[in-house]
Structure 1
Amino acid sequence: MRMRHRTSRQAVVLAAVAALGVGLLAGCAEDSKEPGGSGDSGKKDAKGKTTITVGVFGAFGLKEAGLYDQYMKENPNIVIEQTSVERNENYYPALLTHLASGSGLADIQAVEVNNIAEITATQSDKLMDLGKVSGVDKNNFLDWKWAQGSSKDGKTVALGTDVGPQGICYRKDLFQKAGLPTDREKVGALWAGDWNKYLEVGKQFKTKVKDAAFVDGAQNVMAAVHGSSENRFYDKSGEVIYKTNPVVKEGWNLAAEFAAAGLSAKLQSFTPAWDSGFANGDFATISCPAWMLGYIKDKGGDTAEGKWDVAAAPKPSNWGGSFLTVPEAGKNKEEAAKLAAWLTAPEQQAKFFAERASFPSAKAAYDLPEVKDAKHAYFGNAPIGEIFAKAAEGTPVQILGPKDLIIAQNLADVGMLQVDQKGTDPDAAWDKAMKSIDNALDQ
C-alpha cells in the first residue's frame, strides 16, 4: 500500500493515504516535479562514496522501514538518496517521458502494479534485466508476481516489493447479532470457494440485522471478484476482452445483486462516510488486503476495537503492490541493481512487512518469523501472516494490460457506483460503462 493518489477502486486508496499516520499508512511524502533523482546519480563525494538515487511515489515505505539506513551501514561506500512524487498520476507520465529521452532518471525507479503491464510491454529495452543480477532468485518470488514484472521475451525488468492479498474483514458483533458464527475459520467456511456463497450469507445476515449493511459498496465486491480470476480485461495475446469475458460480466452481475438485495451500504471507498463506517458499524464485511488492516484500525479507533476480525476470502485475489526497476541509462546501474536485488530479497521484504505492513511478494519470506508468526491485536490476534500468505500463494497469475486502470475505473465509477447509489438499471449502467471505456481506449 502506497500514497499513490488515484480514483479507481483498485488504487483509490492512493488518494486517501496522505491524511493517515499509522503503521503502513504513515509518512506523507513531499511532492516533487520529477519522478527521478536530484541529478546526483553517479556522483562520488569527497570521501569516494557513490550516491544511488531512488525515485518513488508517495510514502513508498522502504526508507521509512529503515532499509536504506541498513544498506548504507552494511555498504559504507554507498549513499542512498530518495525523491518522491506524491501522486502517481504525476509520477508515472513523467517516468515514461524520461525513459523515452534517457535522461532525468533515478538509478532505481518504482512502478505501481497498475502500470507494470505497460512498462514490460513498451519499456523493457530501456530497463536492466534484473533476473540476471547476482542474488536474485526467481524461485523466491510468487510465480504471478515474477510474471507481472517480466516481458513476453522473458526479460525480468521489475522486481516485486510487495503484494496485496485479500481476505474478508468482518464485524464479530454484527455477525453475532445475525446469528452467524464469529470464529474466523467458521466464517471463512461459510463462503469458501464461491463468491455466490458470500451473497447468500449476506441475505441471511439481512433477515436478522436491519441497522447495518452486509458490505460497504457493490463496486468493491465486483473488483474483488474480478481480482480472483486469471482472465479479466485482457487475454494472453494482449487483446482487450472486457466486453466479452464472462468473468467480467459475472462480477458485474453479482455486485448488482448485492445492490438489488439491499446488502450494500452504498459507500464509495476513501470518502468520509466510508471512513466513519468502520467505527459506526455501518457495514459488516469488506474485502481487505493486508495493508488495509492498518487503515481499519485507524478509522475504527477505540470505538471498534475488539469488534473486527479477518477471515479468508471466497477466492484468493490481489489488490495492490509495486516493483523496482533499474533504467539502462542510469550512471550507476550495476550498483543500483545490487541495491534493488537486496531491497527485494526475502529478509528485507519480511522487515518491510513488520515495519510497514506491506505484504511480501517474495514467497520465501513467508517462513520467516516476521511473517509466519505475525498476528494483529486489533483483529483479535488474527494470524495475518498465515492468512495472507495462503491468499497470496493462491492468487492466479493474472493477465495484466496497459489500460487495466482505466477499464476498472469506468466499470466502478461510471457503472456500478451508479447502480449502487442511484438505483440505475444494471444493463443501462453496463452499456454506459462500456461506451465510456471504448471512448477512453479509442475503440
Structure 2
Amino acid sequence: MTFSRRTRTITALTGSLALALAATGCGTGSEEPASAENPVELTVTTFGNFGYDDLYAEYEAQNPGVTIEANNIDGSANARTDTFTKLAAGSGLSDVVAVEEGWLGSIMEVSDQFVDLNEYGAQDIKDNWVDWKFEQGTDPNGRVIGYGTDIGPQALCFNQDLFEAAGFPTDREEVAELFGGDDATWETYFDLGRQYNEATGKAWYDQSAFVWNSMVNQMEEGYYTTDGELNIEGNDAMRAKFDLLAAGTADGLSANQKQFDWGKGKAFVDGSFAVHVCPAWMLGTIKEQLESAGGGPESGWDVADVFPGGASNWGGAFLSVPESSENPAEAAKLAAWLTAPEQQVKQSAAANNFPSTIEAQQAIVEAAVPNELFNDAPYGEIFASRAEGVVAQFKGPQDSVIQENVFAPALKILDTGSGTADEAWNEAVKLLNDLVVNN
C-alpha cells in the first residue's frame, strides 16, 4: 500500500501536533487560560464509541487546571435530538459537542450558533485533514465549525465459516476477487447472495436499510442535490437501486435484523447472515456485538478490500464548540488536540475507526497492526485503500431524518415481506412528505 498522493511523512506528526496546540492557544477568546491557579471544567458530549476515555485522562495530565466531564449518548439519532433540543432552549450544550456527518447539514443551518474555529487557528492546521473532511466542517461563509474525527470508508465484512459452507472462497483477497475487485457491482453482490441462499437456505445480509444507505451514499447526489434541493421523488436512478435491493430482499436475502441490536449480538455468532457492509467504524460496533454475545475471533468474521459499486463513505464525525460555551478558547484547544494526528491514531486503536487526518492514516498503515477479531486483517491497509477515491456527498439538512425515519421504516416492509417494492417506495414518499416536505 502506497500513499502516492500523500507526500507528508510520519516524522512530521509531532511537529504538526505542536503547531496545532500552539495555534489553538492564541485565539480571540477573552477568558484567562486554564492553569492550576485558574481551574476550568470542560464538558464534552459524544455518542457511541469515540475511544476518548484514555485521551481525556492524558489531556488532563498535560494541562493542569483542566478537568473534563464526559457525557456519552447511546447513538447518533439520540445525540441529534439532544443537540437540537438544547440549541432550541439556548442552554445546556457541552463545551465540545460531537456532530455526526448525517446531521451536519442541519447544523450548518444554525452554524452561527457555533464558534468559528478560524479564530483559534483552524487555518494553520487545516492540512492535517484530507481536504474533503476539512471542507465538510466549513460553512458557506467560510466559518470552520467542526474539526474532523474519523471517516467511514466502506469495505465488506464476511463470515469465513459461512462462506466455506456455501462453497465460496474464504481468503480475503480471493473474496475481493469473487465480488469483482475494483469492478465490484451491486448486481454481483445480490447474485452471490442468491447463490449463497440456494446453497445454505440462509440470509445474505442483516437487513435492508444498511445496504440501502450504502447504495445511496455512492451516488453523486443522494437525498439532496448539491444545491440543497430534495432529490428523491422522480429520481429514476435512485428508484432503480431501490428495486435492485427490493428484488434481493424478496428472494430471502435479508435476515430482518434490528438495526444496531442484532439480538444483542447473537446474529453475529449464530450464522444469521454472511456479509455486512462495513464502514470503518462498523468494526468497532461488531466488536461490541460479538463481545455481548460471547463471540470472538473464533466466530469467523473477516474484512475484504472490496465494496460493491466502488469507493463510498458512510459516517464520520466532527467536534464543535457551541457559542454558549463559557470557555471557547479552552474548548477549541481541546477539540484540536483530540482530533490531531497523534490522538487520532490512539482513537483508532480504541474505537476501531479510521482517522480523517493524513498522518494518522499513514501511521496506522505503517504500523500494520493486525485486527485479531477479524482474522488478523490488516485493518489500516484495507481502509486506507477503501478511502482512495472517496468523494464526500453533500448532506442536506434532513439527511439523517430521511435515512432513519423515511427509508428505514419503508424498507421494513421489504424485510418483513409485508409489501411489494412499489408499496415500500410509496410509503417512503408518503413519510418524506409527512416528515420533511410538509413539516
Provide the TM-score with structure 1 as the length reference. Answer: 0.81
Asked if structure 2 preserves the Cα contact closer than 8 Å seen for 1:353 and 1:371, the reply is: no
Q: For 1:395, which of 387, 390, 395 is the aligned residue?
A: 390
Asked if structure 1 preserves the Cα contact closer than 8 Å seen for 2:364 and 2:380, the reply is: no
Asked if structure 1 preserves the Cα contact closer than 8 Å seen for 2:116 and 2:145, the reply is: yes
Separation in 1 of the partners of 2:313 and 2:347? Answer: 18
Determine the structure 1 residue equivalent to 2:217: 227
**CA deviation digits over 1:121-169, x for unaligned, max 9?**
x222232222463375222223332232111222221111122332211
Secondary structure, in 3 states, of the residue corresponding to 1:422? coil
Superposition map of 1:143-292 within 5 A: 143-191=131-179, 192=181, 193-210=184-201, 212-273=202-263, 275-292=265-282
Say if 2:104 is the partner of 1:116.
yes
* Structure 1 residue 435 displacement after superposition: 0.7
* Structure 1 residue 354 displacement after superposition: 1.0
Asked if structure 1 preserves the Cα contact closer than 8 Å seen for 2:35 and 2:65, the reply is: no
Q: Could you say if the C-alpha distance between residues 442 and 229 of structure 1 is closer, same or farther in structure 2, counting changes exceeding 3 Å? A: closer
Separation in 2 of the partners of 1:342 and 1:409? Answer: 32
Asked if structure 2 preserves the Cα contact closer than 8 Å seen for 1:42 and 1:52, the reply is: no
Asked if structure 1 preserves the Cα contact closer than 8 Å seen for 2:155 and 2:303, the reply is: yes
Q: Which runs of 5+ in 1 are unaligned?
A: 1-40
Say if 2:416 is the partner of 1:425.
no
Deviation larger for 104-113 or 86-95: 86-95
**CA deviation digits over 1:192-240, x for unaligned, max 9?**
3322111122223233222x22222223221221122231100111111
Asked if structure 2 preserves the Cα contact closer than 8 Å seen for 1:350 and 1:368, the reply is: yes
Specify which structure has the bigger relative contact order, considering alpha-carbon pairs within 8 angstroms and separated by 6 or more residues.
Answer: 2
* Structure 1 residue 331 displacement after superposition: 2.5
Superposition map of 1:38-117 within 5 A: 47-58=36-47, 61=50, 63-64=52-53, 66-86=54-74, 91-96=79-84, 98-99=86-87, 103-117=91-105
Instruction: Please report the RMSD computed on the Cα atoms of aligned residues, expressed in angstroms.
Output: 2.8
Q: For 1:339, which of 330, 334, 338 is the aligned residue?
A: 334
Q: For 1:295, which of 277, 288, 291 is the aligned residue?
A: 288
The share of aligned pairs that are identical, in percent, is 36
* Structure 1 residue 174 displacement after superposition: 1.9
Q: Could you say if the C-alpha distance between residues 346 and 246 of structure 1 is closer, same or farther in structure 2, counting changes exceeding 3 Å? A: farther
Q: Could you say if the C-alpha distance between residues 82 and 272 of structure 1 is closer, same or farther in structure 2, counting changes exceeding 3 Å? A: closer
Determine the structure 2 residue equivalent to 1:324: 319
Q: Could you say if the C-alpha distance between residues 342 and 178 of structure 1 is closer, same or farther in structure 2, counting changes exceeding 3 Å? A: same
Secondary structure, in 3 states, of the residue corresponding to 1:137? helix
Separation in 2 of the partners of 1:425 and 1:365? Answer: 46
State the AA in 1 paired with 2:200: V
State the AA in 1 paired with 2:345: A
Separation in 2 of the partners of 1:369 and 1:436? Answer: 42
Give the number of aligned pairs: 400
Separation in 1 of the partners of 2:56 and 2:365? Answer: 19
Separation in 2 of the partners of 1:209 and 1:85? Answer: 39
Asked if structure 2 preserves the Cα contact closer than 8 Å seen for 1:134 and 1:338, the reply is: no
Q: Could you say if the C-alpha distance between residues 91 and 197 of structure 1 is closer, same or farther in structure 2, counting changes exceeding 3 Å? A: closer
* Structure 1 residue 44 displacement after superposition: 8.9
Deviation larger for 126-135 or 418-427: 126-135
Separation in 2 of the partners of 1:178 and 1:88? Answer: 36
Q: Which runs of 5+ in 2 are unaligned?
A: 1-29
Q: Could you say if the C-alpha distance between residues 188 and 394 of structure 1 is closer, same or farther in structure 2, counting changes exceeding 3 Å? A: same
Q: Could you say if the C-alpha distance between residues 60 and 214 of structure 1 is closer, same or farther in structure 2, counting changes exceeding 3 Å? A: closer
Provide the TM-score with structure 2 as the length reference. Answer: 0.82
Deviation larger for 286-295 or 429-438: 286-295
